[in-house]
């Protein structure tokens, strides 16, 4: 993938204004954070075909076979209160789910807080991070990993992960997918900037099977069973257990069973 190939496909106004393509990089999120600290503009896209130390949420690694998938990060600078930042990850999940569905016709699912599933297996993960300088949030980095044309996974991921190619039975054009994800992300990002949170939440919930169902969560080491009845405007999961209302943030929850 080259910068000009990517640029030729993008139709966005803000996202991808500046593009950095690395042959190999430890993590596009880490590199994007460094670039943001150095003054990179909003919309800067950082992408690689070979991520050597990809990072997932809660300190987990993100593995991606070289040259087969999409691993990229985008620098954003939304003028919104920090309490609304959770919704940005929902926008990213929604953008990925829509792009995959539009391109393959396969039904995608968003799993709170920000996984995208195909056939109940994870096909994409999102890692949103803040870039902080002297206690102030300078920018946000949204990192997206999508398993596109990878056809085998290491043993411990084998029964939890999938790729578009495995699910669709055909090779997928990565550039086309990238352009669609970036396009949908800009669409939802603009909705977020205009504070249309309800529209985002409604659309996201349409992709989520968990809302309106009984689920089990692991909350601070305790397993709780309860009813997931919605997503709050800050992106938290609204959960009711034993008559008690709880608002769970991503860090608190592992969904055990749906």
Q: CA–CA separation, 18 vs 20, rounded Å? A: 7
- At 240, give phi and psi (nearest 5°): -115, 125
Q: Which stretch binds ligand BTN (CB under 6 A): 66-74, 81-89, 196-204, 221-229?
A: 66-74
DSSP string computed for 72-109? EEEEE---S-GGGTHHHHHHHHHHHHHHHHHHH-PPEE
State which of residues 86, 125, 226, 235 lies at the interface with ligand BTN (CB under 6 A): 125
Residue 57 CB, nearest approach to ligand BTN (Å): 4
Q: Which stretch binds ligand BTN (CB under 6 A): 67-75, 86-94, 156-164, 166-174?
A: 67-75
Residue 25 touching ligand BTN (CB under 6 A): no
Residue 57 touching ligand BTN (CB under 6 A): yes
Residue 143 touching ligand BTN (CB under 6 A): yes
Chain-centre distance for alpha carbon 175: 18
Residue 143 CB, nearest approach to ligand BTN (Å): 3
Task: Determine contact, residues 239/256, Cβ cutoff 8 Å.
Answer: no
Counted residue by residue, the chain has a size of: 258
State which of residues 6, 27, 99, 204 lies at the interface with ligand BTN (CB under 6 A): 27
Residue 248 touching ligand BTN (CB under 6 A): no
Residue 223 touching ligand BTN (CB under 6 A): no
Using CA atoms, how far residue 201 sits from 52, 217, 236, 238, in Å, is 34, 21, 11, 12
Residue 163 touching ligand BTN (CB under 6 A): no
- Nearest alpha-carbon partner for 106 in 168, 57, 61: 168
Task: Determine contact, residues 76/140, Cβ cutoff 8 Å.
Answer: yes
Residue 28 touching ligand BTN (CB under 6 A): yes
- For ligand BTN, which is the closer residue by CB, 55 or 121? 55
Interface contacts to ligand BTN, rule CB under 6 A: 27-29, 54-57, 60, 62, 71-73, 115, 125-127, 143-145
């Amino acid at each position: 993938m080259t910068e000009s190939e990517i640029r030729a496909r993008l139709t966005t106004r803000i996202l991808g204004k500046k593009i950095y393509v690395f042959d190999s990089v430890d993590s596009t999120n880490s590199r994007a954070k460094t670039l943001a600290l150095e003054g990179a503009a909003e919309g800067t896209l950082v992408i690689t075909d070979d991520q050597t130390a990809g990072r997932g949420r809660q300190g987990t690694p993100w593995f991606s076979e070289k040259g087969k998938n999409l691993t990229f990060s985008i620098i954003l600078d939304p003028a919104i209160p920090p309490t609304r930042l959770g919704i940005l990850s929902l926008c990213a999940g929604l953008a990925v789910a829509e792009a995959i569905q539009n391109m393959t016709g396969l039904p995608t699912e968003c799993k709170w807080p920000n996984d995208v599933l195909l056939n109940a297996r994870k096909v994409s993960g999102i890692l949103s991070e803040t870039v902080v300088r002297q206690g102030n949030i300078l920018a946000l980095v949204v990192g997206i990993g999508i398993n596109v044309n990878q056809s085998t996974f290491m043993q411990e991921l084998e029964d939890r992960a999938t790729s578009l190619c495995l699910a669709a039975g055909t090779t997928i054009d990565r550039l086309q997918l990238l352009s669609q994800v970036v396009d949908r992300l800009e669409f939802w990002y603009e909705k977020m900037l205009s504070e249309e949170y309800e529209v985002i939440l409604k659309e996201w919930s349409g992709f989520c099977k968990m809302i309106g169902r009984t689920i089990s969560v692991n909350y601070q080491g305790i397993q709780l069973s309860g009813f997931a009845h919605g997503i709050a405007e800050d992106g938290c999961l609204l959960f009711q257990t034993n008559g008690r209302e709880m608002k769970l943030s991503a860090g608190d929850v592992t969904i055990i069973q749906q």
